[in-house]
Copies of this chain bind each other. A is one copy, B any other.
Amino acid sequence: MAKAIADRAEVVPQLAEVFRAHGYEGATLALITEATGLGKGSLYNFFPGGKEQMAQEVLASIDLWFTDHIYAPLRSAADPAAGIAAMFAAVDSYFRSGQRVCLVGVVALGAARDLFADAVKTYFTGWIDALAHSLRRLGHDKAAARHMAEQAVLAIQGALVLTRALDDTRVFTRALATVRAQVLAKP
């Protein structure tokens, strides 16, 4: 019938928003159709694997974004403290001060965790590893750096939960500032 070459590149972020808002099982094809403007025909043409493939590609694109905008800068920053500061700025902007939710965290808590276990683990270990790397350069020993990185990532996830629970973005802002200060404190 038509040809609108709806590019994957613009569909995947729309899919991401649907999964974020409704979770994996809650993201029905009806919602996906509505959010993307694509009928089932197009959807299954682009993603023959159905919902599962859509979610996999969304998770892959998220991982790519974090790699490009957070993990890599964390590793290549001339000044590790500056790299960490940039990370917190990127996180605040990515999660819209807590209004946006972390899809990977949502998946991890849900029943679909097993389906996407690899992607979930890759995301979090990638983040913790990159941050721990910066912390070592900052002068922390290996064990302390890993532990501190883990604690920081976990606090960000918790901040997203609590922010949504209390429906107050100031929670997120406060939490981010606190973790930032802890992480950037002199070893």
Contact = CB atoms under 8 A, between A and B. Distances in A.
Interface string A101-132: 10011101111010001001101110000000
A147 B120 contact: no
A171 B150 contact: yes
A152 to B, nearest CB: 10
This protein's copies in its complex: 2
Chain A: number of interface residues, binned into ranges: 35 or more
Contact of A165 (B25, B121, B155): B121
A162 B151 CA distance: 10
A151 B158 CA distance: 9
A175 to B, nearest CB: 6
A101 B106 CA distance: 12
A110 B26 contact: yes
A21 interface: yes
Interface in A4-53: 21-23, 25-26
A174 B143 CA distance: 12
A67 interface: no
Contacts of A151: 155, 175, 178
Interface of A: 21-23, 25-26, 101, 104-106, 108-111, 113, 117, 120-121, 123-125, 147, 150-151, 153-162, 164-167, 171, 174-175, 178
